[in-house]
Amino acid sequence: MADLFQLESTADVPSGGSTGQPLYGSDLNTGVLRRKYNFGDRVSELAIASDPFFRMVSKLAKKPTDDPEFKFTERRPSFHKRYAYPVAFSNDNVTWVEELDGTVIDTQLDSYETVGTTVYVKMMSDYKHSGNLSSVFGNSGNEVKIGGAGTQPQFYLADQMVRINFGNASASLSAKQKTASYAIIRVSEVSLQDESTNPPTAHGEGEAAILKGVVVKAKDAGHDVIAGINSAAAA
């Protein structure tokens, strides 16, 4: 790019002068201090830390498409949701308790108050794992029951962290349903339960994922109900 501070002119050369002298400015060598750079199409590299994806895409070749609606990227399979409901608890995978409130479940939930304790929890979901199919308000004809056919949670993996919310057992009914504290378990083993009953009437029926895990973050003592449960009835 031209250096405006080093313009030369051969016009109006004074008597006895020579051509090629600076018209204005200094003839001293100032290096590149006054140079104006032409960055062209590489200016995007200056912001590589703020928008690397945009910079990369802007450098790729572009071709027209006859189908601009990218439906595949808009699908929401079950692994995009990744939530389920605890419907039963056990300390030994033999004796299971599905009454998620009251003193009958205290023994199982007390295990979540000590880090390092091995626990078992049965998880069920209320949406189809084959895609974004779930219950729609006002459309009871297509209601998806918890543990119903095709609802098995299939996204749990070994070493995955799972958070379980607990409510305060001594609080009022409205406060009891809110999350008072929570526990986090690290999954060590996953087994799937696939029964034919639809909808299930007990935790031993229907589709579920049985998680064996170790408590890595304990809940607070006394928070011995599942958040959201308002009675001692089974899930």
Residue 51 belongs to some domain of the structure = yes
Is the pTM of the predicted complex or chain greater than 0.75?
no
5: buried, middle or exposed (CB in 10 Å: 19+, 13-18, 0-12)?
middle
177 closest CA partner among 234, 225, 111: 225
Neighbours of 88 (CB within 10 A): 23
Q: Does one domain contain both 94 and 27?
A: no
Q: Does one domain contain both 103 and 186?
A: yes
User: What is the model's pLDDT at position 146?
Assistant: 85
Q: Does one domain contain both 42 and 120?
A: no
Q: Does one domain contain both 205 and 149?
A: yes
Residue 132 belongs to some domain of the structure = yes
81 closest CA partner among 15, 22, 153: 153
Q: Does one domain contain both 94 and 48?
A: no
Q: Supply 158's token pair.
A: 């070994």
Q: b/e string for 13-26 if b means 16 or more Cβ within 10 A?
A: eeeeeeeeeeeeee
Q: Does one domain contain both 22 and 87?
A: no
Indicate the number of domains in the chain. 2
Q: Does one domain contain both 26 and 140?
A: no
User: Domain limits at 51?
Assistant: 1-63
Measured CA distances, 85 to 121, 201, 207 (Å): 10, 15, 12
What does the pLDDT profile of the chain (235 residues) look like in tens digits?
444 444 444 455 555 555 555 555 556 666 666 666 666 655 555 565 666 677 777 778 777 777 766 666 666 655 667 889 999 999 999 999 988 766 778 889 999 999 999 999 999 988 887 766 777 776 666 788 888 888 888 889 999 999 999 888 777 767 767 888 999 999 999 999 988 776 788 888 889 999 999 999 999 998 888 887 765 555 5
Q: Does one domain contain both 123 and 27?
A: no
Q: Does one domain contain both 82 and 198?
A: yes
